[in-house]
């Protein structure tokens, strides 16, 4: 039975796709401490194979991964009509990368190291400017 005046709110689910275990673990820790639920994947293929991917409210995707880049993964999701808000993480950005990211509706292209405040605002569903 629900308590009067209490509302149950599902924690936002953040998907992290990065082949670097250290990056995945650091992001998971930061986001879980901030109250988010995290699903982490070592590859785009692992994300695509997981039946829980439909629970994801937003994605943080590394650009430079073997077998499938972040943009290739996001392009594949868009072609499947999965419009999950996504931020692309890269060690180095370029105008070409940003242009290609815009073509697959990437919300942000962020260079490492990430700005914590912008990251938390994005995964929290807030509008944020460039990090």
* Residue 15 vs residues 8, 27, 99: alpha-carbon distances, Å: 22, 10, 23
- Domains in the chain (CATH in brackets) are 16-123 (3.40.50.2300)
Rounded to the nearest 5 degrees, what angle is found at the Cα of 86, between the Cα atoms of 94 and 30? 100
Res 8: pLDDT:
56
Which pLDDT score is estimated for 9? 67
pLDDT for the residue numbered 3: 46
Residues of the chain short of pLDDT 70, as ranges, are 1-9, 129-131
C-alpha–C-alpha distance, residues 118 and 70, integer Å: 20
Q: pLDDT value at position 1?
A: 41
pLDDT at 128: 76
- Phi and psi dihedrals of 46, rounded to 5? -65, -40
Its pTM stands at 0.89
């Amino acid at each position: 039975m629900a308590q009067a005046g209490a509302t149950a709110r599902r924690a936002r689910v953040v998907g992290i796709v990065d082949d670097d275990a250290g990056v995945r673990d650091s992001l998971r820790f930061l986001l879980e401490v901030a109250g988010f639920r995290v699903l982490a994947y070592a590859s785009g293929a692992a994300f695509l194979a997981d039946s829980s991917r439909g629970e994801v409210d937003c994605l943080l995707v590394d650009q430079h991964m073997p077998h499938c880049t972040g943009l290739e993964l996001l392009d594949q999701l868009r072609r499947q009509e999965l419009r999950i808000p996504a931020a692309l993480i890269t060690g180095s950005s370029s105008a070409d990368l940003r242009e290609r990211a815009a073509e697959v509706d990437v919300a942000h292209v962020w260079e490492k190291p990430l700005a914590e405040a912008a990251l938390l605002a994005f995964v929290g569903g807030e509008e944020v400017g460039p990090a």
